[in-house]
Amino acid sequence: MKRAALTGASLARYLYPLAAAPPAQQTLRRTAMTPPTSPPDPAQEDAKWEAYPRTVLEFRGPPLLRVDLREPLDEGARTALRERVGGAPFGVFTAENPAGEHAEDAPSEGEESRRERSNARRTSRLEEELTRDGVHFVEVDGVSPDGSYRERCVAALLAREEAWALARRFAQLALFWFDGRRFWLLPVIADKPPHPLP
């Protein structure tokens, strides 16, 4: 599978605890994204950050592959992830809800509808960019444990730095990184430390 690496960028502050990314085979073309209207509210950022480790990832099938990030991965789950995504390591992130501004948090139905349309366009743009650049990805939903919240994501075979840079261009608080053994919660625009998941 093709991988891309960000050249000339130092992300050591975020990436120190993780092993080095695999060698690059390709570099993604950069497309400018519109930044969020405002920086994340610290209290809201804290609440959303605390929700990330409780995410259930649903890798679309058939068959559906569900990974509860509250639970440690066994070897069977690691194998299933590598098979579904086409290798490892990989990043899981979304283009939706920049800076944690969830559509359902909008002050009016009209604004919620506008944010939902914007989310659909952003997701299409992300998938089109990955396809254009020949980066293998699969569709994933990030779901709350009770199923009341769902966000469209991708699992993309990218170098860690490239996944981070792409998530940053889409103004995401964080991304999930699968290093082949476990998932990590990596901050993107959130001011938080990297967090290993069980």
What's the average model confidence in pLDDT over 141-152? 95
Greater model confidence, 26 or 102 = 102
Q: Residue 5: how many CA atoms within 13 Å on its side-chain side?
A: 10
The pLDDT assigned to 136 comes to: 97
Give the model's pLDDT for residue 115.
Answer: 81
Q: What is the rounded average pLDDT of the residues 99-125?
A: 81
The pLDDT of residue 128: 97
Helix, strand and coil content of the chain, in percent to the nearest 5, comes to 35, 20, 45
Segment 55-96, tens digit of pLDDT = 999 999 889 999 999 999 999 999 999 999 999 999 999 999
| pLDDT at residue number 197 | 97
User: What does the pLDDT read at residue 27?
Assistant: 45
- The pLDDT, as a whole number, for residue 152 is 96
Show the tokens assigned to 73.
């991965």
pLDDT band, residue 116 (cuts 50/70/90): confident
User: Who has greater pLDDT, 107 or 168?
Assistant: 168
Q: Is the peptide bond before 187 cis (omega within 30 degrees of 0)?
A: no
Q: What angle do CA 118, 119, 122 make, to 5 degrees?
A: 85
Average the pLDDT over 109-135 and give the result.
92
More reliable by pLDDT, 6 or 74 = 74
